[in-house]
């Protein structure tokens, strides 16, 4: 149970932000909410891209000690994986 609560605390800000955006989306009149709809769509795409990249990283790469590991090429590959996948999702492809 403590793990679940800790997980919710980690994403609490995101949940609060998305909840606020959704409430604002329903309260605004139609012409003014087009920009907000695009912002929400992009935020959801970036979040999905991050989750996809995180799952790919856990499956494809061994555990990395970011402070003491000498394999800098592996760290660079993991970072580029996150950047490429999130950017691809954000661009819609």
Q: Tokens 């795409």 identify what position?
A: 45
**Rounded mean pLDDT, 35-51:** 82
Whether this prediction's pTM lies above 0.75 is answered by no
The yes-or-no verdict on residue 51 having pLDDT over 80 is yes
CA distance 76 to 60: 14
Q: What is the pLDDT of residue 83?
A: 94
Contact 40, 46 (CB under 8 A): no
Predicted confidence band at 93 (pLDDT cuts at 50, 70, 90)?
Answer: low
């Amino acid at each position: 149970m403590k793990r679940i609560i800790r997980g919710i605390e980690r994403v609490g800000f995101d949940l609060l932000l998305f909840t606020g955006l959704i409430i604002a989306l329903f309260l605004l009149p139609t012409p003014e909410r087009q920009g907000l709809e695009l912002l929400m769509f992009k935020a959801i795409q970036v979040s999905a891209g991050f989750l996809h990249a995180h799952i790919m990283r856990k499956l494809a790469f061994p555990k990395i000690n970011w402070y003491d590991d000498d394999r800098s090429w592996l760290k660079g590959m993991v970072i580029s994986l996150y950047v490429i996948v999130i950017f691809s999702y954000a661009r819609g492809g």
